[in-house]
Amino acid sequence: MGLSFFIFLSSGLFLGWSLGASDASNIFGTAVGTKMVKFRTAAIIASVFIVLGAVSAGDGTTQTLGQLGSINTLPGAFMTALAAALTIYWMVELSMPISTSQAIVGAIIGWNFFASKPTDPAVLTKIAATWVMCPVLAGAFAVMLYYLVKKIIRVSHLHLIRQDCYLRVGLILAGAFGAYALGANNIANVMGVFVPASPLQSFILPWGWELNATQVLFLIGGLAISCGVITYSHKVINTVGNGVMKMSPLMAFVVVIAQSLVLFLFASTELQEFLHSNGLPAFPLVPVSSSQAVIGAVMGIGIYKGGRDINWQLIVKIAMSWVATPLVAAVVCYVSLFFLQNVFALEVFR
Amino acid sequence: MFHVNFSLFSQTKALENKIDMFHDKLLDAAMTFKKAVAVYLEQKRSDDFKKISKQIKQIEHDADNLRREIENNLYSQNLIPDLRADVLQLVENLDRVINKFDEVVYKFYAEQPEIANEYHSRIKELCSLSADCAENMAKASRAFFRNVSSVRDYSQKVYFIEHESDLSSRKLTEAIFDSDLPLANKLQLNGFVTDIADIADTAEDFIDELLIFTIKRDI
């Protein structure tokens, strides 16, 4: 392992940085934007829990991406991650509700085509189904939580000032959970393609906790996401708030919890095993979009309140992005791999 | 961070108490006002009336101090950032009602109007309606902080009582100008009637605003 590894890893690190910069606003956007939580507090909590989630629970979603396509060279992984990053940049320019998960899945399929490797339709269907399930489930959770929170506030007769105090603590805890779920679910997008070709070895931390080779890779990816949170998310929060609409801190609390629950359900191996062992249908471990989960949650509440707040244009855009993002990413990846192989004479697959 | 959170809890409790005490001051002011006018009608500017005037002045002074502390705490501790402007406006407007009670009592003290016995019961009734209006306004405001669902109940009472106070003040004004009193007396008495009825009007304006803030509080 030398400098070349980190050069090839750079596209994944960039992807991680941009994920941290943009998705932190889904977790702490309203809390920081409404000055309920200081940015410094939010950034530290988000960074720590993203890394924790990535290292301790990022394995499940990575295995699913691995089933879709196991990219077996570093240049191939580099270009796959870069193609996803370029697609995200392009789709953001077109104001599409972009998902890193959809971009990386498209890029992997592009690599599969280029390397003439088969794409398992069952895995692809499983992944695509979760993209639809993600906002729907987030909407359902948001409605239940919204009802519950309203009920609690009505029954408890808490003073407004005390509500504010509890809400601050709640926003911090929800943000920590959200960051953990984001790290666990989305690390596969950032580092998943590098796992098969990674030359990293297992590593023992000073306090005796041993990280296997994949966890070391996830630690690096998690730090890249945290770097995005610390260096750039403040600007994103200031310019676009939570990215969807202006929310009250209480509504933001409900939305963050709903979004985090969805990300956690689609990332937790333990939960999957628990459901399996009890004969219940388990959720597939698939990286999903936190932004689309937030949109689903906000719209769920909108529908519950009478449907006046539904932004149909946004729903159409999301549905379009389910198709357009992977398609564009696959084409960009295919063309880029051709370029890398024939211009730089690098081995992009074995 | 834990230190910050613990201090946040204690600051929250202290501010909660101040807001409750501020509402208590408004209720005290309303009751003292009723008593002051009743004493004036019986005894004019007697020692008892002077004592009650001082009491209401003290209530107004304490309420001013509490208002400043509440405003200062809300800003310095960065509490309820999304509702802070609304709460500040509510507190300012509550204070305006307390000030009005003090102003009317002071007006009785300073001007010492001559009020014939035939008007006593009607003036007492008008004072009672205005004070009730302010009391229900204070209850509605307290409910805004603790139990939003009952804001409407108290608001409805304020609207009803304000309407009654309007009717009462009009009848009194008509009676005053139909009487044989000298014009100067008529104008002076009418000024008092207007000022007393204005307390109920201010309470009604406050409730209009409070209902909008209540809708905003609904997530």
Asked if the model's pLDDT at residue B2 lies above 50, the reply is no
Domain boundaries, chain B: 2-217
Q: Do A249 and B82 touch (CB under 8 A)?
A: yes
Beta bridge partners of A107: none
Q: Which has more confidence, B40 or B10?
A: B40
Q: Are A67 and A44 in contact (CB under 8 A)?
A: no
Residue B176, C-beta contacts closer than 8 angstroms, at least 6 positions apart = B119, B186, B189, B190, B193
Asked if the model's pLDDT at residue B58 lies above 50, the reply is yes
B140 at interface of A, judged by CB pairs closer than 8 A: no
Confidence tier at B1 by pLDDT (50, 70, 90): very low
Q: What's the whole-number average pLDDT of chain B?
A: 91
pLDDT at B9: 78
pLDDT in tens, chain A (350 residues): 578 888 999 999 999 998 998 888 888 888 888 888 899 999 999 999 999 999 999 999 999 999 998 898 999 999 999 999 999 888 877 777 778 899 999 999 999 999 999 999 999 999 999 988 999 999 999 999 999 998 998 888 888 888 888 998 999 999 999 999 999 999 999 999 999 988 889 888 888 888 999 999 999 999 999 999 999 888 877 765 544 566 788 888 999 999 999 999 999 998 888 988 988 888 889 999 888 898 889 888 888 887 666 677 777 887 888 889 999 999 999 999 999 999 999 898 98
From the number of C-beta atoms within 10 Å of its C-beta (0-12, 13-18, 19+), residue B83 rates as buried
Q: Could you read off the pLDDT of A177-210 as tens digits, one per residue? A: 999 999 999 999 999 999 998 888 988 888 888 8
Mutate to test the interface with A, among B13, B73, B80 (most CBs of A within 10 A): B80
Of the partner residues A41, A162, A251, the one whose CB lies closest to the CB of residue B12: A162
Q: Report phi then psi at B180, rounded to 5.
A: -95, 15
Question: Which chain A residues are Cβ-neighbours of B87 within 8 angstroms?
Answer: 160
The structure tokens 């009194």 sit at B172
B7 at interface of A, judged by CB pairs closer than 8 A: no
Asked if the model's pLDDT at residue B116 lies above 50, the reply is yes
From residue B45, alpha-carbon distances to A215, B40, B122, B188 in Å are: 86, 6, 20, 17
Beta bridge partners of B190: none
DSSP-derived secondary structure for A309-338:
T--HHHHHHHHHHHHHHHHHHHHHHHHHHH
Average pLDDT of the segment spanning B173-201: 94
From the number of C-beta atoms within 10 Å of its C-beta (0-12, 13-18, 19+), residue B212 rates as exposed
What is residue A204's three-state secondary structure? strand
Nearest CA in chain A to B84: A161
Q: Could you read off the pLDDT of A223-259 as tens digits, one per residue? A: 999 999 999 888 877 765 544 566 788 888 999 999 9
pLDDT at B80: 79
Q: Do B81 and A165 touch (CB under 8 A)?
A: no
Q: Do A164 and B148 touch (CB under 8 A)?
A: no
B12 at interface of A, judged by CB pairs closer than 8 A: yes
Rounded to a whole number of angstroms, the distance from the CA of B131 to the nearest CA of chain A is 25
What is residue B103's three-state secondary structure? helix
The structure tokens 């910069």 sit at A21
Domain boundaries, chain A: 3-341
Rounded to a whole number of angstroms, the distance from the CA of B61 to the nearest CA of chain A is 24
CATH architecture of B2-217: Up-down Bundle (1.20)
Question: Which chain A residues are Cβ-neighbours of B1 within 8 angstroms?
Answer: 41
Residue A116 is which amino acid? S
Asked if the model's pLDDT at residue B109 lies above 80, the reply is yes
Question: Which chain B residues are Cβ-neighbours of A250 within 8 angstroms?
Answer: 219
Q: Do A160 and B145 touch (CB under 8 A)?
A: yes
B19 at interface of A, judged by CB pairs closer than 8 A: yes
Of the partner residues B19, B79, B148, the one whose CB lies closest to the CB of residue A164: B79
Rounded to a whole number of angstroms, the distance from the CA of B158 to the nearest CA of chain A is 22
Nearest CA in chain A to B8: A165
Beta bridge partners of A203: A211
Half-sphere exposure of B163 (CA within 13 A, CB side): 5
Of the partner residues B15, B87, B147, the one whose CB lies closest to the CB of residue A157: B147
Q: Are B199 and B126 in contact (CB under 8 A)?
A: no
Here the ipTM equals 0.81
Nearest CA in chain A to B5: A169
Question: Which chain B residues are Cβ-neighbours of A248 within 8 angstroms?
Answer: 82, 219
pLDDT at A83: 95
Mutate to test the interface with A, among B7, B78, B82 (most CBs of A within 10 A): B82
